[in-house]
A and B are shown apart, each in its own frame.
Chain A
Amino acid sequence: MSPLLILIGIIVLLIAVDAARHRVLFKMGFRNILRRKTDTVIVILGLLVATAIISSSFSVGDTMENWIESEILDDMQYTDVTVYNTTGQGTYVPFSYEYYRELRADIMEVENVLDVVGEVHGRISVFDPASLLSRSDIPMMGMDMDESDAFGGFFVDGVEIQPSLNEGEIMIDRRLADDMEVGDSLILFSVGHPMGRVYNVTQVIDNRGRAAFGGPGKVIMNLNDSRMAMSIPGHLNFIRITSVGGVEDGALYSDQIFRDVDEILKAEQSILEARENKNELLEEFKGMMSMFTDMFFVFGSFVIIAGIILTINIFVMLGEERKSEMGMSRAIGMKRKHLRRVFSYEGMIYAGTASAIGALVGVGIAYVIFLLLEDIFAVFGGDVSFLSYFHVSPDSLILAFSAGFLITMATIFFTVFRISKLNIVRAIRELPEPPVTKSSRKPLFMAVGSIALGFLMTLAGLSTPQLWLPVTGVSLILIGGGTIARRWVGDRIAYTLVGIFLLVWWMVPFEAVESFFDDYSAGMEMFILSGLFTVTAGIMVIMLNSSLIIGALDRIPESSKGGKAVVLTAVSHPMKEKFRTGMTMFIFALIIFAIIVMSMIVGIFNTNMDRMIEEQSGGYDMIGLTAWDRPIDDLYVEIEGRGIDPGHFQSIDQASLSMVTLADGNMDSVIGVDRNFVRNNTFGFTEYHDDYDSVDDVWEALMSDPSLVVTNDPGEFGMPLEDPIGVDSVITIMDAYGEPREKRVIGLMDQFIIHGYFMSKEGVRSEFNTTSHNLFFISVGEGVDADELAREMERELVPFGFQPIVIDTVFREVMSAQFMFFDLFSGYMGLGLVVGIASLGIISLRAVHERRLEIGMMRAIGFKTRMIKYVFLVENSFITLTGIVLGSALGIGIGWLLWYDGFRPMGWEFYIPWGTIITIGIIAYLTMLVTAIPSAHKASKVSPSEAMRFD
C-alpha cells in the first residue's frame, strides 16, 4: 500500500475520531458545504484541477510505460538476451557454425537458459516488381526453421503454422506486405546480391513468436539463403537466448543470464559480446518514458500553483462570508482551534471529493492527450495506437489522489490558521480588518526571514552553480528589504519599488550578468520561477497603485448616461478587495504568461525557420545514406547508369561515414570529407581555434592534417554533458587495426543535422579502412523538386539501400511535430484557465451575495437593472483583462529575454505572435464571460426592497 495512502488514512482517521468527539463542529462543517450548492460545485471544480493535473501526468507516464513495455515485449517476445558484435562498418561480425555449436553448449549450461538459436541477421533492400515499390533498409532474419520451438513458433493471423522455406523462398511479415502491397515475389538486394535476386513469398506471417525481433516490416529466409544474401557462407552472425520465464517473466532472468553469458564470452576471449538484455531494455526505456511524465508535470505545475492559489482564495472568501458567525461563535466560547476544526472538517470533505473526482478527470485529460499524441506521431509517419495501450495503474490513481488531497489539505490548514485569527468584535460587526501598521512586528519578522533565506540561497548558489538559487535569493532579499522599508515610506512606495526591481531583475539579459553566472546552469525551474516572481511583482505594482487606475477612469469624460458610474463602481470594488482580486488576477496572469511564453518560442522558431534550415543544411538540399554493407564508389556514375538526369543536381559531395570505437568504449561516427565538400558547404561554427582566422582556414587545416577534426557543438543537441567536447579537446579513436589515434578538435559546428567527427577523407580511408562512399551531401538544380528527386533516387538506387533525406521537408516535419507538442503543452497549461474562471465564478457569486444591500441601494438611487448587470460584467472583465494583459506583457518580456540570450546571438529575428496572443486573450475572456454572465444576471434581479430587507 502506498505510504501516502497510509498517511492519508491516518489523517482521515484522526480527523474522523476528532469529529466524533466534536459532533456539532463536524455538523457545522458538513452543513456549510450544503449551504450554497452552486458555490459547492465551483469550489470542488476549482479544487480538483490540481489533482487532475497530477493524475494526468501519472496517467501519461503509465500509458507510455505500458506502450514501451508492450513494444519491447512484442518485439523481443521469447528472446531475453542476444549475443553478437558489429564491425566498424555497422555490419554484424560473422562466426563459424562450429564455434556457434561450442558456444551454444556452454550457454545451455547457464542457469535458467531454456534454449539458444544461431541465426543470420542483416539489413537488405527490396523491390516489388508487381507494385513497383521499393524499400531501401529493412531487417532480414535467416534461421533454421526446425531448430527451436522455444522461441514461440510462427503464426499466420494468430494460427500457428509449421513453415519450411526452400531455396529462393521467403516469408515476410504483415507490416511489409501491407506497406509495399507485396505480390508473389520480391527482388532482394544485399551485399551478397548486389544485382538483386528474386524470391518467392510463401507466407505473410505475424510479427510474433520466433519471427518477432528487430522491429516490424521484415523478411525471413532460410539459413543458407540468408548466408548467401549476407555473403557469409557457413557462418552465422547472431545468437538469441531464451529463458525459462517466457515472454513477460523472461525479464526476471535476463540480468542473470546476461551476466553469466558475458563471463563465458570474456573467458573465451570471444569476438562476440552479450548485447540486448530484456530487463535492462525495459528499465532503460521506462526511464526514458518517465521524461514524458516529468514534462507534463513541469508544465502542469503552473496549473497546480494556480490551483493552490484558488484554494487559498476559496477558503479566505468562505472565511469572510462566515466572519460574523465566527465572531459570535468565538464570543460564546468557541476557541480558535474549534474554528479551525470546523474548516478542517469542511476542507477534508471538499479535498476528498475534489481529489477523487480530480484523479478520474486527470485520466480523461490523459486520454485526450494521447488522442492528440497519435496525430503528432503521425507527422513522423508513425501509426502508434497509443489509446490501445492506455493504462492507468491503481497505484498512480492512489498517488494522484493522495498528492492532490495532501496539497489541498495543507493549503486549507495554512489558510484556516490565518482565518481563525480574527478579532471577535470586528468579525461580529463585519468590520474590515485595519491595515497592518508600519510599526507591526510581524511583517518585520517575515522580512528578516525572507532576507535570511535569500542570503542562504544566494550563498548556496556559490557552491551549487544552479542559476535559480542566486536569482531567487536576490528576489527574496528585495522583498524582505521592501517589507522593512515600508516602515518609513509606506506600503505603496515600498512594494511598488520592490515590484519594479523584481521585474527588472528577472528581465535582465543573461549577457549583463554573465561575468557572475557564467558557469551556472538553468532548467525548466527558471521558467516556473520567472512566472511566479514576475507575475507577483506585476500584481503588486497594479494593486498598490489602484488609485491611479481609478483616478484615470474618473477623468474619462461621460460618454453615455451612467456609463462612468458603472465603470467607477465596477473598478472600485475589486480594488477595495485587494487580496481576492490580486489572487484571481494572479491565476489568470500566471497561466496566460506560461502560454504566451510557449507561443513566443513557437513564433520565434517559425519566423526563423528558413534561416534555421539554411544554417542546418549547410547549403545542401538532401543528405543520402547507403546501407552499411553496400557503399557506392561514385554516385555520379550510378546516377547516369540508372537513368537519373544528372542535370537535376547542382553538386554531390561524397563522404565516407564510419562507425568507430572511442578509447572510453563508446561508439561514435567519423565522417571523411574531401575538398569538394570543403568548397561547397556553408555550415557555420559556434567556435573555432584561435590559430585560424576563418572557417575556410579551419577546413583547409583539416584537409591537410588527419589528426584534426571538427564536430558538432554539444549545445546543439540540448543535452547537458558532464565533460562536453570543446575546442582543443583531444579525443582518442580506435582505428581499423585497434590502434589508438588521437584527434584534436579545432572547431565546433553550428548544426545538429548530421553528427560525427569530420576529418579528411584520406585520413578516414587510411585509418578506418574505408574505400568507398556511403554518405552524400546533395544540392539540387534550380527549379528541381527535391522530394520528387529523392523518391526517384530511392527507387533507382535500391540495390545500395540508398536513403535520401530532404532536409527542408524533414526539418519542417520535425519542427511541426515539435510545435504540436508545444501546442499540446499550451493546451495542458490552458487548463489553468478553468482555475481562473472557477475563482472568478466564486468571487462573482460571493459578490452578489455580500453586496445585496448595496445593490438595493444602487437600484434605489437610480442604477437600472442593465447598469447593475454591466457593473458586474465590467468588474469581472477588469480583473480578467488585467490578468490577461499582465500575463501577456510578462510572457512577451520573458520571450524577449529567451530570444535575447538564446536566439539573438545566432542572428535570429525577434517576433511577437500578436495573432496568437490576441486569440488566447479572447478565448480566456470569452470563457470568463460564461461564468460572469449568470452572476451579473443574478445581481441585476435583486430588487431594491428585497435587498433592504436582507440580513
Chain B
Amino acid sequence: MSEAMIVSQKVHKYYEGGVRVHALRGVDLSIDRGEMVAIMGPSGCGKTTLLNCLSGLENISSGRVLIGGKDLNALSDNRRTELRALNMGFVFQFYNLLPVLTSLENVELPLLLAGKAKGAKAKAKKALETVGLGDRCHHRPPELSGGERQRVTIARAVVNEPDIIWADEPTGDLDTDNSERIMDLLCKLKEKNGHTIVLVTHDQMVARRAERMIYMENGLIQREQRRGDTR
C-alpha cells in the first residue's frame, strides 16, 4: 500500500498588496512517497506557488499541508527551516548557488546546516561524483557552465538524502541535451534513493518523465494524468 508523503487539503493562497491575488483556490493533492510528479499549466496558473506552499517556502492562507504527516502550518519558521534542511532538496531554474563558495562547499552546506558536519566533505564529494562533477569540486559557480551548475544544484539537493526534491523549472535555462542529462540524473537518483520528486515545468518532454502529471489552471488542479495513461 502506498504512503502519502505530501498532502494538501483545500489550500488557498492570497497575495496582498495593491491588488489582492487569489493564487491557489483550494488545492487538494496527495503525492506518495517515492513518486515523481510534474506540475504543468500556463503561466500564472499557480504551479510555482503550489510548489512553494507545499515545500513550506511560503505560508498558505488557509487549508493544510502535511509533509510526512506533519502539518506545516503548525511548525514555527525555525522548525520548518529544519524540516527543509533535513528532509528536502531544492533545484531551481537559475541554480541559485552561492557564488562565494566552491562547488564542494555549496554541496556541503545543507549537511552543515542540518548538523551533519561529520564526514560532510566526503559526502559532498561523493554527491558531486554522482552527478559527474568530481573534477569540478574546487570551482566556483561562475567558472561552471549552466548544465554543470544545475548538476551542482542537484548534488546539493540530494546530498542530504532528503525524502523530497522540489524542482522548479529545473531545465528551464538549459538546452535540450543538458535538459535530457539533468532529467536522466534526477530519475536515476530517484530510482536509487527513492526520493519523492515534485517538479514544475512547461516542457512536455520533461513532464513525461514523471509518473504523474498534474495540470493547473486559475489556481486549481484541472486534471491529472498518469504515465502510460492515454486518456
- Identify which of residues 536-554 in chain A touch chain B, using a CB-to-CB cut-off of 8 Å: none
Q: Which residues from B are CB-within-8-Å of A951? A: 94, 173
Tell me the residues in window 124-173 of chain B with beta carbons closer than 8 Å to chain A beta carbons: 156-157, 173
With A334-B81, A434-B17 known to touch, is A27 a contact of B109 (CB < 8 Å)? no
A425 and B15 CA atoms in complex are apart in Å by: 12
Chain B residues lying within 8 Å of A336, measured Cβ to Cβ, are 77
- C-alpha gap A348/B8 in the complex (Å): 44
A817 at the interface (CB under 8 A from B): no
By beta carbon, the residue of chain A nearest B115 is A333
Binds A, one of B39-47, B95-103, B204-212, B222-230: B95-103
**A24/B96 in contact, CB under 8 A:** no
- Asked whether A333 lies within 8 Å of B85 as measured between CB atoms, the reply is yes
Query: Complex: how many Å from CA A328 to CA B17?
Result: 24
Q: How far is the CA of A951 from the CA of B173 in the complex (A)?
A: 11
In the assembled complex, A123 has its CB within 8 A of some CB on chain B: no
Give the complex CA separation of A333 and B162 in angstroms: 12
Are the C-beta atoms of B58 and A425 separated by less than 8 Å? yes
Shortest Cβ gap from B115 to chain A (Å): 10
Contact: A24 with B92, CB < 8 Å? no
- A329 & B98 in contact (Cβ 8 Å cutoff): yes
In whole angstroms, what is the CA distance A332 to B94 when docked?
A: 15
Note all chain B residues with C-beta closer than 8 A to A32. Answer: 100
Whether the Cβ atoms of A333 and B17 lie closer than 8 Å is no
- Whether a CB of chain A sits under 8 angstroms from the CB of B16 is yes
Name the residue among B81, B86, B89 with the largest chain A CB count within 10 angstroms: B81
Residue A31 CB within 8 A of the other chain: yes
Q: Is the interface of A mostly helix, strand, loop or mixed?
A: helix
Check A332/B57 contact, CB under 8 A, given A35-B99, A437-B16. Answer: no
Are A328's CB and B96's CB within 8 A?
yes
Contact with B81, one of A27, A324, A335 (Cβ below 8 angstroms): A335
Contacts of B64 in A (CB 8 A): none
Nearest to A335 among chain B residues (CB) is: B81
Tell me the smallest distance from the CB of B113 to a CB of chain A, in Å. Answer: 4
Q: Which of A325, A332, A424, A437 contacts B85 (CB 8 A)?
A: A332
Inter-chain contacts of B86 with A (CB < 8 A): 333
- Please encode chain B, from 1 to 45, with 1 for each CB lying within 8 Å of some chain A CB and 0 for all others: 000000000000001111000000000000000000000000000
- Number of residues in B with C-beta < 8 Å to the partner? 35
In the complex, whether A814 has a CB less than 8 A from a CB of chain B is: no
Kindly list chain A residues whose C-beta atoms are within 8 Å of the C-beta of B77.
Answer: 336
For A333, give the chain B residue with the smallest CB separation: B85
Interface hits, A283-328 → B, CB 8 Å: 324-325, 327-328
Q: Contact mask B72-113 → A, CB, 8 Å, 1/0? A: 000001100110111001101010111111000100111011
Known contacts A324-B96, A327-B96; A332/B17 CB under 8 A: no
Say if the beta carbon of A382 comes within 8 Å of chain B.
no
Which of A324, A428, A437 is the most central at the interface, judged by chain B CB atoms within 10 Å of its CB? A428
CA distance A31 to B15 in the complex (A): 36
Q: A689 in the interface, Cβ–Cβ < 8 Å?
A: no
Contact of B89 among A329, A332, A338, A424 (CB under 8 A): A332
B114 contacts partner chain A, Cβ-Cβ < 8 Å: yes
A437 to B99, CA, bound (A): 34
Shortest CB-to-CB span from B185 to chain A, Å, is: 18
B15 nearest CB neighbor, chain A only: A434
Shortest CB distance B100–A (Å)? 4
> Is A331's beta carbon under 8 Å from chain B?
yes
Contact B113 A333 (CB under 8 A): yes
Nearest CB of B to A8, in Å: 26
Q: A335-B81, A434-B16 are in contact. List 8 more A-B contacts (CB 8 A).
A: A28-B101, A35-B100, A328-B90, A332-B156, A334-B109, A335-B82, A424-B58, A437-B17
Provide 27 A-B residue pairs closer than 8 Å at the C-beta atoms, listed in order of the A residue.
A24-B101, A24-B112, A27-B105, A28-B100, A325-B96, A325-B98, A325-B99, A327-B96, A328-B90, A328-B98, A331-B84, A331-B90, A331-B96, A332-B90, A333-B82, A333-B113, A334-B113, A335-B78, A335-B81, A335-B82, A335-B113, A336-B77, A423-B58, A424-B52, A434-B17, A437-B16, A437-B17
